[in-house]
Amino acid sequence: MHSGRQAGYTFMALGLFFLGIYLLSAYGNHYYQRVGNLMMIYVILTVSLNLSSGIMGISSLGQIGFMAIGAYVAAILTLPPGLKERWLTGLPHWMHSIQTGLLPAMLLAGLLAAVVAFLVGIVILRLQGVFAAVATLGFLIIVKVIAENWMTVTRGGRGLSALPAYTNLWWTSTAAVVTIYAVWRILKSPHGRSMIAVREHDLAAQSVGINAPKIRLLAFVISAFFTGIAGALWANLIGVVSPGSFYLWLTLLIIIMMVVGGMGSVTGSVISAVGFTILLELLRGFENKIAMYGISYIIFAVVFLLMIIFRPEGIMGDREFSWRNVRRIIPLP
């Protein structure tokens, strides 16, 4: 298919997508808007994790640690000055009077998460397989312990509340589109091909001149940047940031979304994140009706196990959406 025609279809699809965002923002009730926001945040988290774990092949159980860093950075930056001065006595005095909007908070959250990923990655990415997974889990535990005990900056278990409700569908949907596009472009670039080569055979990739440690670190840092942005959006959507929000359940949820969608497929990550968000909300409604909670955990675990047994490559495998394939089913002009 001609590239110009494909671009036209893509822009048309984006136009319809943002039209749907406008209609939901203007006419949807608060519940559906909240679900839409969570869906977009899960898309960002799943796509960014797929960059480091699916495409690059880094075994990571600590990705949500970067989300926590982003959330706390955004919470501190957007917290009203009066509350900041009263609660966060460990901050420098000049920070007490600062209250930013969402965009600078998002960017700084992503940048700090990326810097931490760079420093952590220099050490952790020397390891592979289960050792890397355990090391990244250790990183997540360290982040949680710091958040629980640095009382003068994070307020510990009480968390940071009364955050401005800056996050809306326009912010989350735009961030999701940017994340999808950025990761897709990386996947199709020489860097993306290098990542796949290192994932498939480390030594063979290095023998043809690919700097495996450098390419792993690049994927890890970029993934952390977008995860930090997701944390910032989360903080100003929920309005409360506490250590318990960023731990094993959310870690496992995002891993399940990535694996079910297809490790190495951006399209699969999007499909899986959207589908699991809808399923999660349906199960929550069912749990409330029968007053029996925890069913969603069981269902998600069963889906995960069945997928690993019967379709380990996931919904999409490593395939991506293509307008050429759509034209085989639907007669497009």
Is 270 part of a structural domain of the chain?
A: no
Whole-number average pLDDT of the chain: 90
Residue-level length of the chain: 333
As averages over each run of 10 residues, the pLDDT of the chain (333 residues) reads: 68 90 94 96 97 91 96 97 92 92 97 97 88 94 95 93 95 98 93 90 85 93 98 97 89 94 92 94 83 82 90 86 60 55
The reported pLDDT for the residue numbered 328 is: 53
pLDDT of residue 2: 57
**pLDDT for 333:** 56
Q: Is residue 302 part of a domain?
A: no
- Alpha carbon distance 123, 121 (integer Å): 5
Pick from 12, 112, 18, 122: nearest CA to 68: 112
Predicted pLDDT at 324: 65
- Please count the CA atoms within 13 angstroms of the CA of 302 that sit on its side-chain side: 6
In a domain, 263, yes or no: no
Residue 21 and residue 219: Cα distance in Å, rounded?
Answer: 30
Considering its fold, how many domains does the chain have in total? 1
What pLDDT score does 327 carry?
Answer: 56
Residue 12 placed within a domain: no
- DSSP, res 166: -
Q: Which domain holds residue 201?
A: 17-244
Over residues 136-156, the pLDDT tens digits come to: 999 999 999 999 999 999 999
CB contact at 8 A, 105 and 236: yes
- Residue 290 pLDDT: 80
pLDDT at 145: 96
Structural element, H or E, at residue 301: helix 295-310
DSSP 246: S
Neighbours of 199 (CB within 10 A): 21
Q: Which of 60, 86, 8 is nearest to 255 (CA)?
A: 60
pLDDT tens, residue by residue, 200-219? 888 888 888 889 889 999 99
In a domain, 55, yes or no: yes
The answer to whether residue 228 is domain-embedded is: yes
**Domain assignment of residue 195, yes or no:** yes
Q: Is 152 inside any structural domain?
A: yes
